[in-house]
Structure 1
Amino acid sequence: MRVGVFLVAAGFPGMAPGEVLRNTVEAVVAAERAGFADAWIAEHHFMSYGVCPSATTLAAVALGRTTRITVGTAVSVLSTWHPVALAEQAAILGHVSGGRFRLGVGRGGPWVDLEVFGTGLDRFESGFGESLDLLCAALGGDSVAADGTFFRFREVPFVPAVRMSPVVACTSAAGVRLAADRGLPMLLGMHVDDEEKAAMLDDYRASSPDSNVQGHVAAAVGHVADSTALAVREMKESLPRWLGPGLAGYRPVDDRPRPRRDIHKYVDKLCRIHPVGSPEHCVETIRATVERTGLRHLILLVEGGGDHARTLENIARLGSEVLPALAAV
């Protein structure tokens, strides 16, 4: 069983972005001290939901502050990056960290980011597979070239050469098939429950029956308190303060309708399906997820309390009161 932390660099009201970023690095340091296997940093642009616009940059800072823990991106938004440029950054981090970096990528959404960075809606809608293939080619060889719809360039050396495979965020059947066709592990979001995760894993195996890929990762909220009632109450008080204005910050690049999420119902769901509760409840919930899905790698969102001191306490308590009970899982 491998358990890490998931850090969105959440912009709770009243917190300056620079403060949040410094706190995020401190959380990675605390996670290493608490015994977590890895820490994954999210990337968002132009919004308070997450105030880190470059997960690779913040991962570099965190790697420089730690010695053991693996640091990854969950995720770098491939639709707004040139795949080779992102591969170069991943290669640097892989080399200088001694292999402690993992690259997670995702398609992202039809947000204004595509306009600002000039990558465009067409590449988001139909170019993710080509972008992913180019990324993998760069991360798997000594040279790279492209002759596709979105990327065309002559062969060039890839420096520094590295051998690295990305993890792919999957939120749809098409995404699952795309990852399975390439033999890449999936990153599953915290918005889906165990049954939905199990179904996605079944779809992956059906799409790639000969694949022996291991290493799928799933995100979940992780929040521990003296009692389950107290932990749930804390989440129901703090999460809406972040999620309400944060999720509203997603700005579509076109006029397509966007469904609105009921924040309070969403928080209720997160508390119900994830390890939010007493240490014993958290252990039981994680064990149940492993039994229902077969997943062996979870990353826990630990910032839900909305206060840096509470986040550090949460990390420490998860490390001392939950992780030891999972050692044999």
Structure 2
Amino acid sequence: MRLGIFLLTTRFPGQGDAAALSRTVEAAVAAERAGFDDVWLAEHHFMSYGVVPSATLLAGHLLAVTERIDVGTAVSVLSTRHPVALAEEAAMLSLLSGGRFRLGVGRGGPWRDLEVFGTGLPRYDHGFAESLDLLLTWLDSERVSWEGEHFRFREVPVVPRALARPPVTVACTSPSTEALAAERGLPMLLGMHVDAGEKAAAVGRHGRPDLPHISTHVAQVAGTREEAVKTLLDEMPRWLAPGLEGYVTVDDRPRPSPDPVGYTRRMCDIHPVGSPDDCVESLVTTVERTGIRHLILLVEAAGSRSATLENIARLGADVLPEVRAAT
């Protein structure tokens, strides 16, 4: 059983980018102290929802200021990165950290990032499989050449080369991506927007329940469920509303208008939000229904540095030991 935290590095109302980044570093150190197994970092561009443009860069910093905890990306977006450059960074971080780095990758979305970085919609629409294959080939090889639709180059040596391939996980939000991950023997990273039943269905479609899939959750512990729900309903929409406005499509295709309050209510309904006992029951139920034994918890939804650090400490003291004992 593995239990980690997930950090968006959201810029809370009235807060600057430096404070958001500093809070993330503090949270990672606090998570190690509280007994969590790993910390996972989101990557976004041009939005307050998350102010980390390079999850691998921040992972390197966190690996340097921690001693035991693993650090992963959730996720590094392959539609806007060259897979060889990302693989080189992953290998270097693995070597520097003694194998504590984990690489989560995803396709991303049709956002304006594609225009700014020059990769374009074709890489997003059709290039994810090739990008993933090139990344995996690089991590597993001593020399690589490539001839594909999106990448072509003559043979070059792999430098630096990790002692072993860092664990690679694929963010999956569709059956087609689930199938792609399964074909390559890779575990899935399943997001906060789906409940335990939907995650169980994804594991069933993927067909490899033996792989170390990861389930992401919002987690907020308080004295009672009512108190925890009120905290999130009061605070979460305040940073969600301006943050979600940052998702702008590259081709102006229509997208649903975000409903921060409705989204927060759904998070409270399907995730560990409540008393320690409520949180334990929710997480244990997820393990039992899905078979997934690696859970990562978004701990900063209450919208402040102090609330984030308190939440990490209480989860570590009152929830993690009970979940481990029950699973």
* TM-score over 0.5 for the pair: yes
- The whole-number CA distance in structure 2 between the counterparts of 1:175 and 1:258 is 21
Q: Give the superposition deviation at 1:301.
A: 0.1
Q: Aligned to 1:327, what secondary structure does the other structure show? A: helix
**Aligned equivalents of 1:49, 1:2: Cα separation in 2:** 26
Residues 111 and 6 (structure 1 numbering): CA distance in 2 closer, same or farther, change over 3 Å?
A: same
- Separation (CA, whole Å) in 1 of partners of 2:9 and 2:290: 28
- Is the CA contact 1:184–1:213 (under 8 Å) kept in the aligned structure 2? no
CA contact (8 A) 2:203 2:209 kept: no
Matched, 1:302 2:302: no
Q: Give deviations 1:231-253, integer Å, cap 9, x for gaps.
A: 00000011101111111110110
Listed one character per residue, the Cα deviations across residues 174-211 of structure 1 (whole Å, up to 9, x for unaligned) are 11011011110100000000111001000000xxxxx5
* Cα offset, 1:212, TM superposition: 6.9
Partner Cα distance (2:300, 2:324) in 1: 23
- Residue 66 of structure 1: aligned partner: 66
> d(CA) in 1 for partners of 2:59 and 2:228?
29
User: Match of 1:242?
Assistant: 239
**Contact persistence 2:9–2:52 (CA under 8 A):** yes
Corresponding residue for residue 130 of structure 2: 130
Shift of 1:226: 1.0
Deviates more, 1:260-269 or 1:18-27: 260-269
| Partner residue in 1 for 2:148 | 148
Would the aligned equivalents of 1:183 and 1:213 in 2 still touch at CA under 8 Å?
no
Amino acid at match of 1:173: P
C-alpha distance in 1 between matches for 2:48 and 2:316:
28
Q: CA deviation at 1:262?
A: 2.1
Q: Which residue of 1 aligns with 2:171?
A: 169
Which of 243, 265, 279 is 1:268 aligned to? 265
Task: Report whether the alignment pairs 1:322 with 2:319.
Answer: yes
Unaligned runs of 5+ in 2: none
Match of 1:38 in 2: 38
How far 1:257 moved relative to its partner? 1.1
Q: Helix, strand or coil for the counterpart of 1:105?
A: strand
How much has 1:261 moved relative to structure 2? 2.9
Q: Among 198, 202, 205, which residue is 2:204 paired with?
A: 202
CA deviation string 1:16-44 (max 9, x = no partner): 01110111011000000000000000000
Give 1:189's aligned residue. Answer: 191
For residue 279 of structure 1, the aligned residue among 273, 276, 280 is 276
| Pairwise CA distance, 1:213 | 4.6
Amino acid at match of 1:106: G
Q: Following TM superposition, by how much is the alpha carbon of 1:255 offset from its aligned partner in structure 2, in angstroms?
A: 2.1
Q: Which residue of 2 aligns with 1:221?
A: 218
Give the aligned partner of residue 208 of structure 1.
none
- What SS is found at the alignment partner of 2:93? helix
Alignment partner, residue 253 of structure 1: 250
Task: Assess if the C-alpha contact under 8 Å between 2:27 and 2:308 holds in 1.
Answer: yes
Which of 281, 290, 293 aligns to 2:290? It is: 293
Q: In 2, distance between residues paired with 1:249 and 1:238?
A: 19
Q: Report percent identity of matched pairs.
A: 60
Equivalent pairs counted in the alignment come to: 324
Show CA shifts across 1:99-149 (max 9, x none): 000000000000110111111110000000000000000111112221000
Query: 1:6 corresponds to which letter in structure 2?
Result: F
TM-score, normalization by structure 1: 0.97
* Cα pair 2:92 2:161 within 8 Å, conserved: no
**1:2 partnered with 2:2:** yes
CA distance in 1, matches of 2:323, 2:197: 21
SS in 2 for 1:220: strand
Alignment deviations for residues 19-75 of structure 1 (CA, whole Å, 9 cap, x no partner): 101110110000000000000000000000100000001111111000000000000
